[in-house]
């Protein structure tokens, strides 16, 4: 494996810890008729573990220098596409597959963590669950609860679609080369019962506007909205326009957006 020159610019920190690799793939109940999308297989450490589950597998890898490693381990139910995940049409790539559940599993390239997740959501693929290795601080932002400093519009956006939990931390020494950030694996589980939002665009606009200036309260950030209506709804939850967005749970934003 090791004349390979890892590219920092592509987030190439490869996993070398067998226990971590096993714990990732065992965090969902993969069945032979499921389809898994792996983003960034690298030299195939995680790919091998996914293949052991006998699932259908599509991998997207931007760096063709990994081809000799990946072609060597590739099994018959695996398809490797050497392209930039942000440029491909995933819906088209998976359309010929018949499968029970769709999963995304990845030790992500950290420089594009959020664009990748947004792409998966925007592609409307009906993903059952995602297991994603991300930077630890980012994991905390994804899972943050109201009134914590990490809670923001991204937290609400992602939690609208998925129940998100950090399943374990991953020490730096589990990677080669050793990165200079800590990592964690998060599980995104598709929400069984989606929230009742009348207009998603308006809801996401409201949330984004409410967080526009983090230190300001709702009255300041939502000056262009009907503040009387918003104040009425907030009072039902013992909140007011003097609260900041970071103190407002997702259900309250939904109640406001539905009323406006
Ligand atoms: N899965 C391997 C592992 O766990 O050892 C490698 C993970 S490494 C953190 C991230 C991988 O994503 C690298 O192989 C890198 O080349 C690939 N990558 C980076 N940018 C990408 C992109 N835009 N599209 C697809 N793959 C990308």
Nearest protein Cα to ligand 1, atom 10: 109
Q: Is the CB of 46 under 6 A from ligand 1?
A: yes
* pLDDT confidence of residue 2: 63
Averaged over 16-42, what is the pLDDT? 98
pLDDT tens digits, residue range 99-146?
Answer: 999 999 999 999 999 999 999 999 999 999 999 999 999 999 999 999
pLDDT reading at 155 higher than 80: yes
Confidence (pTM)? 0.94
CATH number corresponding to 200-259: 1.10.8.100
Band of residue 241 on the pLDDT scale cut at 50, 70, 90: very high
* pLDDT confidence of residue 194: 85
Spatial strand order in the sheet of 56-60: 78-81, 56-60, 35-39, 102-107, 129-135, 183-190, 162-170
pLDDT reading at 228 higher than 70: yes
89 CA distance to ligand 1 middle (Å): 18
Averaged over 56-78, what is the pLDDT? 98
Q: Where are the domains of the chain?
A: 8-190, 200-259
* pLDDT confidence of residue 193: 84
Q: Which fold has domain 8-190?
A: Rossmann fold (3.40.50)
Helices 200-210 and 250-259: angle between axes, nearest 10 degrees: 120
Strands 56-60 and 35-39: parallel
Assign 3-class secondary structure to the chain. CCCCCCCHHHCCCEECCHHHHHHHHCCCCCCCCCEEEEECCCCCHHHHHHHCCCCEEEEECCCHHHHHHHHHHCCCCEEEECCCCCCCCHHHHHCCCCCCCEEEEEECCHHHHHHHHHHHHHCCCCCCEEEEEEEHHHHHHHCCCCCCCCCCHHHHHHHHHEEEEEEEEECHHHEECCCCCCEEEEEEEECCCCCCCCCHHHHHHHHHHHCCCCCCEHHHHCCCCCHHHHHHHHHHCCCCCCCEHHHCCHHHHHHHHHHC
Band of residue 33 on the pLDDT scale cut at 50, 70, 90: very high
For all residues of the chain together, what is the average pLDDT? 96
* pLDDT confidence of residue 86: 98
CB atoms within 10 A of CB 45: 20
pLDDT reading at 1 higher than 60: no
Averaged over 87-109, what is the pLDDT? 97
Measured from the Cα of 40, ligand 1's closest atom is 12
Measured from the Cα of 12, ligand 1's closest atom is 8
Q: Is the CB of 85 under 6 A from ligand 1?
A: yes
């Amino acid at each position: 494996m090791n004349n390979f020159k890892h590219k920092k610019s592509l987030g190439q920190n490869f996993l070398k810890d067998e226990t971590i690799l096993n714990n990732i793939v065992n965090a969902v109940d993969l069945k032979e008729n499921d389809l898994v999308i792996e983003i960034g297989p690298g030299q195939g450490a995680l790919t091998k573990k996914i293949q052991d589950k006998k699932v259908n597998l599509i991998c997207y890898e931007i760096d063709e220098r990994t081809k000799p490693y990946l072609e060597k381990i590739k099994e018959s139910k695996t398809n490797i596409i050497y392209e930039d995940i942000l440029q491909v049409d995933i819906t088209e790539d998976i359309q010929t597959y018949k499968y029970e559940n769709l999963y995304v599993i990845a030790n992500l390239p950290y420089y594009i963590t959020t664009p990748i997740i947004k792409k998966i959501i925007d592609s409307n693929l009906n993903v059952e669950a995602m297991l994603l290795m991300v930077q630890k601080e980012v994991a905390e932002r994804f899972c943050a609860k109201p009134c914590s400093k990490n809670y923001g519009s991204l937290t609400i956006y992602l939690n609208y679609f998925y129940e998100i939990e950090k399943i374990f931390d991953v020490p730096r020494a589990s990677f080669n080369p050793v990165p200079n950030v800590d990592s964690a694996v998060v599980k995104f589980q598709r929400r069984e019962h989606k929230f009742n939002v009348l207009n998603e665009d308006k809801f996401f606009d409201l949330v984004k506007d409410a967080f526009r200036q983090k230190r300001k309260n709702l009255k300041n950030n939502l000056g262009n909205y009907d503040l009387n209506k918003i104040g009425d709804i907030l009072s039902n939850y013992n909140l007011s326009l003097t609260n900041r967005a970071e103190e407002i749970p997702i259900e309250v934003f939904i109640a406001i957006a539905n009323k406006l």
